[in-house]
Structure 1
Amino acid sequence: MRNTRLLIAVVSAAMLLTTTATAASAAPRIHHYVALGDSYTSGPFIPVQQTDPLGCGRSTANYPSVLSDALNVGDFTDVSCGGADTTNMTRPQQVPFNGTNPPQLGALRITTDLVTLGIGGNDFGVFGSIVSTCPGLRASDPTGSPCEEHFTTNGVDTIQTALTKTGERVEAVLAAIHERSPAARVLVVGYPRIAPDSGYCPDVLPFADGDYAWLNNVERELNQALEDAVDADGNATFVDTFGPSRGHDACARGGSAWINGKDQNVFVAAAYHPLKAGMAGVAAVVLKSVR
């Protein structure tokens, strides 16, 4: 009888521990997560697109959505929007189809406990200027660096000069986030690589051969500006996606690419933007940082 009672007690305790562990794992670790950012966060044309507003190109498969599911977030708010720059953190953004995305920082609450910020590439028109200019210059000097030369004035790379100012803007955005959500963990998510370390794929990424290295350098400088802003802030974390995306650039074959090439596909991804696989890859990198 004594052994029977002991067995019942052990089984009951085991069941209680299992129930408690299950409840703990099911409970949301993050109560309110807010995703802020531009098109590299929102995921234009990646199915399925949200309509609030449609012009933001906000996908239900973007990295914030994947991250939210993985973390079992209690309340998730994604206000990222294609074309956004740091000014749209505090100002409304007009988007295609007569839509308006409210100031993104308006989504923050005093109780927000996780914020991801992916911004900076559109400030001073950097990303748009590069993708609208460089492909058209390849024919003039296929093996040279005509785009780098185009953006160099009196020996000064105007793109790199702009990135210095971008870092200052991001630092101001971080201060504003902390003011609105002082208890939130804030992650600044960098930009994944577009061009490979070596080799070329002009049919996919039609930059001149010499401009591949320049494009990589621009991305490194942009990510460094973001990391410097985080260091100056002192209360945020920079998440590097440039390093982890090596081998997943637009030239990658066999389904390994995280970034779409020059061909816009309204059922897959915008040109020169992350693919669904890229969003999943970035989400995995960010998740590792969160955990």
Structure 2
Amino acid sequence: MIKAVRTGIAAAFTMTITAGLAIAAAPAQAAPSLSPYVAMGDSYSAGAGIVPVDPTVTPLCARSTLNYPNLVADALGVQSFTDVTCSDADTQDFYEKQYPSLTPQLDAVSKDTKLVTLTIGGNNNDTLIKVISACISAGTGTAGFGNPCETIYGDQFTNDILNKTYPAVKKALNDIHAKAPSAKVAIVEYPQVMPADNSNCFLTMPIAKGDVAYINKIEDTLNGVVERAAGETGTTFVSMQSSIGHDSCKPIGTRWVEPALWGTNFVPIHPNALGMQKMAAQTLAAIGG
């Protein structure tokens, strides 16, 4: 509000225009230092299942033009943006072709790159795929009772994350920094998939109630090694703790991640368009954009 002491219409108009120009100029000032921008990573970066789908890449990537990297690039107004995100990618796909039509993701990074964002690690050892599919299968078999997934698999997933995923993610981050020594590198943690209070929604996420805490522990372990690797490599860690309360069991408009059944994405158990917007906002806040 304009205080009463500021009585001149011309003065108020001038102040309004000046403020507007300052806001409009902000992206233009930020863009040169964060361009070229390269987006890397898996389906949680690619925005898998959100339309419209990027027509410039194989449909196997299920990459959306509304994924969080595109939203970040638009917000920053970067002049050069390269998106090599692809569903099912793990750290090995940074070094090898994931599909014949693709190049290794790390090839997109150069000494001139000024910004790199990524989510990675969830597909190493097929962790996310194994956890969700295994727990859905086990939960369906017990009609949602007990903790059959934890009973069957125990510490297998967490051990793989600690012993295999962690060093792989750390190596990938070190290699990104080595190729782009002047770049800001930001790795985004995975948003909350299951309710933090360990409740369940069996009709849309057919996972036994006793296994919700088990899945949450595995996801916490995964995000923990991502944060640890980030801290040890000078990488910006983008927290998604704000996703708690916006898990796949929540209604449309509240949830940021879609459930296994009756969701809005054509790829289930992935962030929806709202989730992508929130991941973009958190990334921008973390990198100072």
Mapped contact 2:27–2:75 kept (Cα < 8 A)? no
- Structure 2 Cα separation of the partners of residues 44 and 254 of structure 1: 18
1:131-150 mapped onto 2 (5 Å cutoff): 131-141=132-142, 142-150=144-152
Q: Does residue 290 in structure 1 map to residue 254 in structure 2?
A: no
Q: Does residue 103 in structure 1 map to residue 104 in structure 2?
A: yes
1:2-81 mapped onto 2 (5 Å cutoff): 21=22, 24-25=25-26, 27=28, 28-29=31-32, 30-51=34-55, 52-81=57-86
- Structure 2 Cα separation of the partners of residues 19 and 262 of structure 1: 44
- Structure 1 Cα separation of the partners of residues 281 and 20 of structure 2: 29
Counterpart position of 2:160: 162
Q: Does residue 205 in structure 1 map to residue 205 in structure 2?
A: yes
Deviation of 1:64 (Å): 0.6
Deviation of 1:163 (Å): 0.4
Identity fraction in percent: 36
SS in 2 for 1:244: helix
- The one-letter code of the counterpart of 2:38 is V
The 1:139–1:287 alpha-carbon spacing in structure 2 relative to 1, beyond 3 Å, is same
Counterpart position of 1:7: none
Q: Does residue 244 in structure 1 map to residue 242 in structure 2?
A: yes
Deviation of 1:192 (Å): 0.3
SS in 1 for 2:243: coil
Mapped contact 1:34–1:115 kept (Cα < 8 A)? yes
Deviates more, 1:108-117 or 1:133-142: 133-142
Deviates more, 1:214-223 or 1:20-29: 20-29
Where do 5+ consecutive residues of structure 2 fail to align?
A: 1-14
1:111-130 mapped onto 2 (5 Å cutoff): 111-130=112-131
The 1:162–1:34 alpha-carbon spacing in structure 2 relative to 1, beyond 3 Å, is same
Q: Determine which structure has the larger strand proportion and give its number.
A: 1
- Structure 1 Cα separation of the partners of residues 67 and 75 of structure 2: 13
String of CA shifts for 1:170-190, please: whole Å, max 9, x gaps: 111011111110000011110
- Structure 2 Cα separation of the partners of residues 58 and 288 of structure 1: 24
The 1:256–1:23 alpha-carbon spacing in structure 2 relative to 1, beyond 3 Å, is closer
Q: How many residues align?
A: 268
Q: TM-score, normalised by structure 1?
A: 0.86
Mapped contact 2:148–2:211 kept (Cα < 8 A)? yes
- The one-letter code of the counterpart of 1:107 is A
Deviation of 1:247 (Å): 1.0
- Structure 1 Cα separation of the partners of residues 178 and 83 of structure 2: 19
Of structures 1 and 2, the larger Rg is shown by: 1
Mapped contact 1:67–1:283 kept (Cα < 8 A)? yes
1:261-280 mapped onto 2 (5 Å cutoff): 261-263=259-261, 268-280=265-277
SS in 1 for 2:278: helix
Where do 5+ consecutive residues of structure 1 fail to align?
A: 1-13
Counterpart position of 1:189: 188
- The one-letter code of the counterpart of 1:173 is A
String of CA shifts for 1:36-81, please: whole Å, max 9, x gaps: 1001110122011013122111111011111111111121111010
Deviation of 1:140 (Å): 3.6
- Structure 2 Cα separation of the partners of residues 113 and 178 of structure 1: 10
- Structure 2 Cα separation of the partners of residues 238 and 25 of structure 1: 23
Deviation of 1:285 (Å): 1.0
The 1:71–1:137 alpha-carbon spacing in structure 2 relative to 1, beyond 3 Å, is same
The 1:245–1:184 alpha-carbon spacing in structure 2 relative to 1, beyond 3 Å, is same
Q: Which runs of 4+ in 1 moved over 4 A?
A: 17-24
- Structure 2 Cα separation of the partners of residues 253 and 169 of structure 1: 36
Deviation of 1:290 (Å): 1.4
- Structure 2 Cα separation of the partners of residues 275 and 286 of structure 1: 16
Q: TM-score, normalised by structure 2?
A: 0.86
